[in-house]
Amino acid sequence: MPRKTLIFGNGLGMALDPRHFSLTNAMAEVWNDPFAISDVHKDLISQCLGGNGAIPQREDQLDPLHLVISACRTLSSINMSQRMNVHWLSQEGQHFPVAVGNYIHKVATRLHMYGGSLPQAFLEPLIGFVRHTKSHVATLNYDKLLYGAFLDAGLMAGYFHTTLVDGMVGNGFSSQALERLYNNTFGYYLHLHGSPLFFDHHGLARKRDRHELNPFSPEGSDHIVLTHVRHKRSVIGASMVLSAYWNYLNFSLNESEEIIVFGYSGDDEHLNDVIAAHGQSKHIVIVEWDGLDQTEQQRLWYWSQKFKSNNFHLWRLPNVLTFTQWDHVY
């Protein structure tokens, strides 16, 4: 059976535990955790959002944080390149990117560290389909629901005799580990928005084992996409890991017979543009929750605008985790 590309959004987790996997809840819980973020870092972030105790509650509120981080990093790089004796930034400015990076990493970690798992009735057909077809899998979330299940099922087992690879090897991330050599036919597992498991060590991106992730780790990460939609492209472009994943997303879509978009809101314009470019020649299947208080005609129009195509089939389900038609031919 030909390959497909399966793209999973946050609706996967929301169908399982909407309270835990709500980004708004995760942002608030990390902010209110007295051990997660220092008061100094909270004050820096709050002042950037307008002061008076302002706190980040939604992804779109991260817009000014990203702008200030970009400015701070630019000034820091100029200071280093010119070997200046006086830093253009105050101590607060020098610490600001660290404060925001730490907060974002904590939010992603909170979403990742979930004790439950997806139902077997959902996982077994999915794992069987991916193993049989070596279809590509791309995720937009930060949780371990699919990643952990695929590891436990042996779908990601090194470079040889494996179903999927993500480019993370023992020495760290390598784009060469994504190349199919020696008659390999594996598919790709693409963390499109990164993972809290990723960290930098001596200039190389590495990946922790699942049990090594610490909710109180002081480390931030440049390999997590959690920002206003207008800045997502620049965050991706600044990370060698994320850039490689998005490049391979294009490759994956190009060689796929069909695109399945699962539990995705449609709000990521960068992704919509990529899907639209391939959707002119590929059939798209959209699986979404039917509780959005819109008619089917409204949803059909919505997705036709997002993907610039009418060549798609829409599944609207009370519970998206009941979907098992991965191998269905339209």
Q: Which of 112, 140, 167 is the last residue of a domain?
A: 112
Whether residues 94 and 166 fall in one domain:
no
pLDDT of residue 36: 84
pLDDT of residue 94: 62
Q: Which of 112, 131, 164 is the last residue of a domain?
A: 112
Q: Which residues contact 98 (CB under 8 A, 6 or more apart)?
A: 41, 220
Is 80 exceeded by the pLDDT of residue 276?
yes
pLDDT tens-digit profile of 134-162? 999 999 988 889 999 999 999 988 777 88
pLDDT of residue 317: 97
Report yes or no on 131 lying in a domain: yes
pLDDT of residue 57: 76
Q: Which of 49, 77, 112 is the last residue of a domain?
A: 112
Whether residues 98 and 124 fall in one domain:
no
Give the residue ranges of DSSP H helices in 51-156. Answer: 63-81, 91-112, 120-133, 145-152
pLDDT of residue 92: 59
Looking at the 3D structure of the chain, how many domains does it have?
2
Is 60 exceeded by the pLDDT of residue 87?
no
Domain that holds residue 190: 4-17+116-322
CB 271 within 8 A of CB 192: yes
